[in-house]
Amino acid sequence: MFDDQFAQLPSNPPRRPATLPGLRFAAAVSRSALVLPLVFVCFFALIPISISISDPALRLAMGPTRTVQGRVLSAASVSACRGSSAHRVTYTFSPESGRELRGVATLCEESPYYSVGEGDPIEVQYVSGNPSINAMRGGTRNDAPPVALLILMPVFILAMLSPMFVPQFRELLRARQLYKKGRFALGKVIFVKKRVTALWPGWPGNSAAEVFIEFQPTGDERREAVAWCPNDWIVHILGARCRGAPGIHR
């Protein structure tokens, strides 16, 4: 039943994989199977964005900032820094907008501004678009979340979901390369084994089949091979009739 289709294919390589619809990348994974992974990837990709918007320390570490000179208003001893002595410093500064703003910082002993007192000059760093987000430059510890971890979070999710799709794409790339450079030979279906990759309980997974075939290359002895086929209709026809069908081999 595939004689007409195979007659239209070039007998000698190289061939273009685009001539067969089953060799398109869109045929490797069904669109419904991609919905759930895309939801997970988008969700975890939004986490770094939401943190970068809401976390002041991260905005100071990553966003556009400016530095101006400020002045200490008061300094008092407090209990912080894991039980060690600390100073709570209140400072004032004037951003480019001109209005005076105040800020508060808790300084541990290792801070270079630990010993500042009332009236001492300091450097204040603030976010360009929002001067209310500010800190003493070099005066406090960097409590911002690790930027590299936030950026790599979607990559981790893709790595976790990759076993659901990598085998299909690996087999597709192998089939494309084989079709592009292989030769045609007459083959016979011996056995068909259904293979389903479950994505989530109650969610439709990726279905494919391992087709065990026997073929004889020109002038060679008979051989057996396993072919991957994601088309259920073709698998049903080949499995039901188990008759000779053209195949491709190296």
Would 93 be classed as within a structural domain?
yes
Q: Computed from CA positions of residues 39, 45, 50, 53, in that sequence, does the dihedral angle turn out positive or negative?
A: negative
pLDDT-derived band at 199, boundaries 50, 70, 90: low
Would 17 be classed as within a structural domain?
yes
Query: CA gyration radius for the chain?
Result: 33
What are the tokens at 108? 């541990």
235 and 172 assigned to the same domain: yes
Would 207 be classed as within a structural domain?
yes
Exposure on the CB side of residue 169, measured as CA atoms within 13 A? 7
Q: Supply the DSSP symbol for 145.
A: P
Domain boundary among 94, 123, 139: 139
Lowest mean pLDDT among 20-24, 134-138, 196-200, 220-224: 196-200
Beta-strand relationship, 183-197 and 121-127: unpaired
170 and 243 assigned to the same domain: yes
The per-residue pLDDT for range 143-166, each reduced to its tens digit, is 555 656 666 777 777 777 777 778
Q: How far is the C-alpha of 5 from the C-alpha of 234, rounded, in Å?
A: 13
Could you tell me which residues come within 8 angstroms of residue 112 by beta carbon, excluding any fewer than 6 positions away? 138, 139
Would 156 be classed as within a structural domain?
no
Would 25 be classed as within a structural domain?
yes
Q: Supply the DSSP symbol for 106.
A: E
DSSP 3-state of 83? coil
Would 217 be classed as within a structural domain?
yes
Q: How far is the C-alpha of 192 from the C-alpha of 239, rounded, in Å?
A: 6
For the stretch 129-150, what's the b/e string if a residue is b when 16 or more beta carbons lie within 10 angstroms of its beta carbon? Answer: eebebbbbbebbeeebeeeeeb
174 and 242 assigned to the same domain: yes
18 and 71 assigned to the same domain: no
Q: How far is the C-alpha of 80 from the C-alpha of 72, rounded, in Å?
A: 20
pLDDT-derived band at 240, boundaries 50, 70, 90: low
172 and 239 assigned to the same domain: yes
Lowest mean pLDDT among 118-132, 211-225, 229-243: 229-243
pLDDT-derived band at 2, boundaries 50, 70, 90: low
Range of the structural domain that residue 104 is part of: 64-139
Domain boundary among 104, 139, 174: 139
Q: Measuring CA to CA, which residue among 80, 156, 76 is closest to residue 116?
A: 76
What CATH code is carried by the domain that includes residue 135?
A: 2.40.50
233 and 180 assigned to the same domain: yes
The per-residue pLDDT for range 41-96, each reduced to its tens digit, is 788 777 777 776 777 777 777 778 888 999 999 988 887 777 677 888 999 999 87
Domain boundary among 124, 139, 154: 139
134 and 68 assigned to the same domain: yes
Domain count of the fold of the chain:
2
236 and 174 assigned to the same domain: yes
Would 146 be classed as within a structural domain?
no
